[in-house]
């Protein structure tokens, strides 16, 4: 049963939001990454199908973003977020069923819908509650749930591997882990906000917004390749077999506090300049495993990825929200659709490239090139400003 709106404290709302992100993103999206090598070994999942399932997950995410951009009724936004919480557990249970590509596809699509519910609807509800309660309208602490979701998915995989559970039982284990986070996420859901009052039209310049949307597409490409294949890249190296979950854990450890650091960098350098720095560091992290098969390159790449992807997301959404005060949610949803388009195409293309070449180098170099394009778009944004 949900705690009444009047009795909710700020720490409860933020904690519930963090737990919701762990459920909707950590399980609905990120658990697939440490599970991928085991499913390929035990369930016969090919490289191409692995990429296709990741693409289906992001198709679900983009569908959720479309719904979030379309629905204005705050009561429906709260209901859909609530549904996303328990559907995240269902997606894990479906993945545990006997090898069936169609069931897996359904599970990954549901997981994508849940990811959008947690990332867009949940974050919006938390931010709205903080503003109505007179609290500082910041989501830095809330977004630590993304890094924590990675940590939970990595530690879950490592712990269940010690128990020698097969791939199906590990997915069931993730569902049980999710029950722990469902309790606070459900009990401390922010209540539906009152209908928004009309505001004067205010929106960023079209050229600036077009550059921002294109840049976020590049960011989505860089995000999804690492999010999908980090563990598999490490496990594919002969001398690094069994080290994949450690690399994924490092991503989460780096991501959890990174949003606070990027806020500080943005205050000192400016938002676009901070984004440019994050793109540079992420490009380095992407290319390190392509240049070297060492454990250092794999772990350094994971560290740089974890430290940058969360900063790019939080800085971008905050920046476009401030530029669109009349309706920041709509602008954020438009960006998310661009991000999602990259997340559909990138893993499918990369999975096919990996299967054709037998390695990840080509996919990593292509991702590096896309991120360099994103840097060029950021430089163009500086001129537009």
One-character DSSP codes across 84-145:
HHHHHHHHHHHHTSSS-HHHHHHHHHHHHHHHHIIIIIIHHHHHHHHHHTT-----TTTTHH
Low-confidence ranges of the chain (pLDDT < 50): 1, 197-201
Residues 177 and 236 in one domain: no
pLDDT at 168: 93
Residues 169 and 266 in one domain: no
Is residue 146 in a domain?
yes
Question: What domain range includes position 345?
Answer: 201-385
Residues 38 and 166 in one domain: yes
Q: Which of 153, 168, 191 is the last residue of a domain?
A: 191
pLDDT at 160: 93
Instruction: Give tens-digit pLDDT for 182-193.
Output: 999 999 998 887
pLDDT at 330: 67
Residue of 273, 339, 293 whose CA lies nearest to 112: 339
pLDDT at 87: 94
CATH of the domain at 273: 1.20.1250.20
pLDDT at 181: 96
Q: Give the torsion sign (CA, 212, 216, 217, 218).
A: positive
Instruction: Give tens-digit pLDDT for 8-28.
Output: 888 999 999 999 999 999 998
| Helical H segments across 292-360, by residue range | 295-323, 328-357
Distance CA 11, CA 24 (A): 20
Is residue 196 in a domain?
no
pLDDT at 200: 44
| Contact yes or no for 26/102 (Cβ under 8 A) | no
Residues 106 and 172 in one domain: yes
pLDDT at 6: 55
Residues 258 and 355 in one domain: yes
Q: Which of 140, 165, 191 is the last residue of a domain?
A: 191
pLDDT at 309: 87
Please give the tally of structural domains in the chain: 2
Q: Which of 145, 170, 191 is the last residue of a domain?
A: 191
Is residue 234 in a domain?
yes
């Amino acid at each position: 049963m949900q705690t009444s709106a009047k009795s909710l404290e700020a720490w409860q709302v933020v904690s519930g939001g963090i737990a919701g992100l762990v459920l909707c993103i950590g399980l609905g999206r990120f658990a697939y990454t440490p599970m991928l090598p085991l499913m390929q070994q035990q369930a016969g999942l090919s490289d191409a199908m692995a990429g296709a399932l990741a693409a289906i997950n992001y198709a679900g995410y983009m569908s959720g973003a479309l719904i979030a951009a379309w629905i204005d009724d705050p009561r429906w936004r709260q209901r859909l977020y609530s549904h996303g919480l328990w559907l995240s557990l269902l997606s894990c249970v479906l993945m545990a069923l006997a090898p069936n590509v169609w069931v897996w596809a359904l599970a990954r699509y549901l997981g994508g819908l849940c990811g959008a519910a947690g990332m867009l609807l949940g974050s919006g509800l938390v931010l709205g509650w903080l503003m109505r309660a007179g609290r500082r309208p910041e989501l830095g602490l809330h977004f630590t749930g993304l890094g924590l979701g990675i940590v939970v998915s990595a530690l879950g995989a490592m712990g269940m591997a010690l128990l020698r559970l097969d791939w199906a039982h590990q997915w069931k284990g993730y569902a049980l882990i999710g029950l722990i986070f469902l309790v606070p996420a459900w009990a401390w859901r922010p209540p539906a906000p009152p209908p928004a009052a009309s505001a004067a039209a205010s929106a960023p310049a079209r050229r600036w917004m077009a550059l921002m949307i294109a840049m976020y597409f590049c960011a989505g490409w860089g995000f999804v390749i690492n999010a999908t294949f980090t563990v598999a890249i490490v496990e594919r190296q002969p001398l690094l077999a069994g080290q994949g979950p450690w690399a994924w854990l490092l991503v989460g450890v780096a991501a959890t506090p990174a949003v606070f650091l990027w806020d500080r960098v943005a205050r000192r350098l400016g938002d676009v300049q901070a984004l440019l720095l994050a793109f540079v560091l992420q490009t380095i992290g992407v290319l390190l495993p392509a240049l070297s098969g060492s454990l250092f390159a794999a772990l350094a790449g994971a560290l740089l990825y974890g430290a940058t992807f969360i900063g790019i997301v939080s800085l971008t959404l905050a920046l476009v929200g401030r530029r669109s005060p009349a309706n920041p949610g709509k602008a954020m949803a438009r960006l998310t659709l661009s991000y999602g388009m990259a997340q559909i195409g990138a893993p499918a293309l990369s999975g096919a490239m990996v299967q054709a070449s037998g390695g990840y180098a080509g996919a990593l170099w292509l991702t590096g090139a896309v991120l360099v394009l994103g840097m060029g778009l950021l430089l163009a944004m500086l001129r537009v400003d």
